[in-house]
Amino acid sequence: MKFLLSSFFILFFATLPLLADDSLVEPKLFAALGMTKSQKASPIPTDSGVFLYDTVNERWRRFGPTIQQVNSLSTDPSNPENIFLACGNGIVRSQDNGKTWRMVTGWRESDITKIVIDPSNGKNVYAASAWGVTISRDGGDSWSAANEGLVEKFSNSIVVDHLNPKRLLVATTAGLFVSYDSAETWEQIPTTPKIAILGLGRNKADPNIWIAGTEGNGVILSSDNGKTWQSTAPGLSTANIYGVTTDPFNGENLAAGGWGTGIWISTDGGKSWKNRGKELPSQNITATTFDYAQSGRLWASTFEEGTFYSDDMGVTWRSDDVVVPGATGSILGAYVNDLGFISVKK
């Protein structure tokens, strides 16, 4: 299953800034915030929005408008100036690298959980939401529901197959569904449990590897490009797993975390797993990702107790959650809905 590093770079740069000038684009770690733990006796979150990690100063900095309940974000691989925020209010888009923003959805679209863009055609944008899948064929100018074939609409995640962009997988509360026609129709993937899928990811180094976190059934893994799935990580077999990730530099490295589980890591493609991160201030993991810029670095967000990284596969952890003087907001104590990497124009 191991992949040569050179193969990785071919794929990595094929999927991040696909058509953009590589020298002008860099991967940036983002944290999408729903709220922070200082919210008490109020339904109004104390802080929210998107923060990007400044690797030079090792600090988190706000990016974009202060919008409540941001669940995730994504950039257009063919034009990283196009940025999409998946928000409770809908989808907010920037077409000028974050200088200006526009809510591109109307009242029919809300509670967007994840958004992805077709790497071969930036006009095709796909979003998972609490109300199902919504799609755009014009780069986000207009949207329509695309739920044909879904048993349950509530969807936590969606991934476009960058090698076959008409193929998408969506994580619903009734299991994993696949589309072969750019989300026009969906069908259930037979070997997956018909339960809520909470997180979904695909390995960039080895595109055959897909990983998913479930509600109450731990982690499931596919090593044949999402066709068939098997349960993995027996120690997590009854857990709710919100964060799953695979190492873009090494397809053998997998990580998962959920409620009360801490971080679990496999370095052999899922054959064995180790529980790491017991020294983290909370074992409730809401999001996790391997670093796309620094090989071997793993990030994890705990529920309102900080976001941490490890450079030794989870043995030790460090946090850069500090309040920056003069900055607006911080991710200190945040409920991070999603951690991930976007390609950003330098």
Partner 1 sequence: MPFFSVFRHRVSATLFTTCLVFPLTSVAQQPSYLPPDSGEILSQYRERCDYVLSQAVTTTSSFDETQGDLFGVAANLDRKTNLEWARKRLRTFNEPPTGNMFWMIPMVLIMQTGRDTLNDDDWAYIRKLWKTYYPYRGDTENHWLMYYTGQYLAAEMFPDDGPEHWFNGKSSAENMDEARSYIEDWIDITISHGQGEFDSPNYADVYIRPLLLLTGWVKDPSFRHKARMILDYILLDYAVESLDGFYGGAHSRVYPRHVIVPSLNAINPLGWLFFGQGEYRYNATHIIAVLSGYTPPTILFHIANDRTKPYIQRELKRTRWRLRNAGPNSFEVKGKRTVPVYKYSYVDSDFILGSCQGGLLQPIQQQTWSLIWRGPTGSSNTFFGLQPHSSPFEGSMYFGEDPDTVTDLIARSKVDYDSEDKLQGGSPYEQVFQHETALIALYDIPKDARFPLIHTFFSRDLKQREEDSSGWIFAQGGPVYIAYRPFAPGEWKPVDWTGLLKSGAGGFVSTGFAALSEGSQSYASYERQNGYIVQIAPSREHDSFESFKTAVKALPLEFSLSPTPSATFTSLDGSELQVSYGKPPSINGNDVEYSSWKLFDGPFSQSERGSKRLEMQYDRERYILDFNTVTIEETIIPSR
Judged by CB under 8 A, does residue 99 bind partner 1? no
Distance, CA of 345 to CA of 237 (rounded, Å): 40
Which of 27, 80, 132, 269 contacts partner 1 by CB under 8 A? 132
Judged by CB under 8 A, does residue 145 bind partner 1? yes
Judged by CB under 8 A, does residue 69 bind partner 1? yes
Distance, CA of 174 to CA of 220 (rounded, Å): 15
Determine the interface stretch with partner 1 among 73-81, 102-110, 185-193, 204-212 (rule: CB under 8 A).
Answer: 102-110
Q: Where are the alpha helices (DSSP H) in the chain?
A: 5-15
- The nearer residue to partner 1, 147 or 343, going by C-beta atoms, is 147
In angstroms, the Cα distances linking 289 to 31, 42, 61, 301 are 10, 31, 18, 9
Cβ-proximal residues to 249 (8 Å cutoff; 6+ apart), any chain: 5, 8, 205, 290, 295, 296
Cβ-proximal residues to 88 (8 Å cutoff; 6+ apart), any chain: 68, 69, 70, 71, 110, 111, 112
Distance, CA of 201 to CA of 194 (rounded, Å): 18
Judged by CB under 8 A, does residue 106 bind partner 1? yes
Q: By rule CB under 8 A, what string of x and - marks binding of each residue 242-281 to partner 1?
A: x---------------xxx---------------------
Tally of residues, the chain: 346
Bridge partners of 135? 126, 144
Residue 270 identity: G
Distance in Å from the first CA to the final CA of the chain: 34
Smallest gap from Cβ 43 to partner 1, in A, equals 4
Judged by CB under 8 A, does residue 8 bind partner 1? no
Judged by CB under 8 A, does residue 89 bind partner 1? yes
- The nearer residue to partner 1, 15 or 134, going by C-beta atoms, is 134
Determine the interface stretch with partner 1 among 77-85, 150-158, 227-235, 308-316 (rule: CB under 8 A).
Answer: 150-158
Which of 1, 7, 13, 68 contacts partner 1 by CB under 8 A? 68
Cβ-proximal residues to 187 (8 Å cutoff; 6+ apart), any chain: 149, 177, 178, 179
Judged by CB under 8 A, does residue 17 bind partner 1? no
- The nearer residue to partner 1, 234 or 260, going by C-beta atoms, is 260
Judged by CB under 8 A, does residue 102 bind partner 1? yes
Query: CA gyration radius for the chain?
Result: 18
Determine the interface stretch with partner 1 among 16-24, 67-75, 135-143, 183-191 (rule: CB under 8 A).
Answer: 67-75
- Two tokens, residue 147: 């739920």
Distance, CA of 269 to CA of 230 (rounded, Å): 12
- Residue 197: its H or E element: strand 197-202
Which of 67, 146, 160, 178 contacts partner 1 by CB under 8 A? 67
Smallest gap from Cβ 40 to partner 1, in A, equals 6
Smallest gap from Cβ 61 to partner 1, in A, equals 18
Residues near partner 1 (CB under 8 A): 35, 39-44, 65-69, 88-90, 92, 100-103, 106-107, 110-111, 113, 130-132, 145, 147, 152-154, 173, 196, 198, 215, 240, 242, 258-260, 284, 286, 303, 335
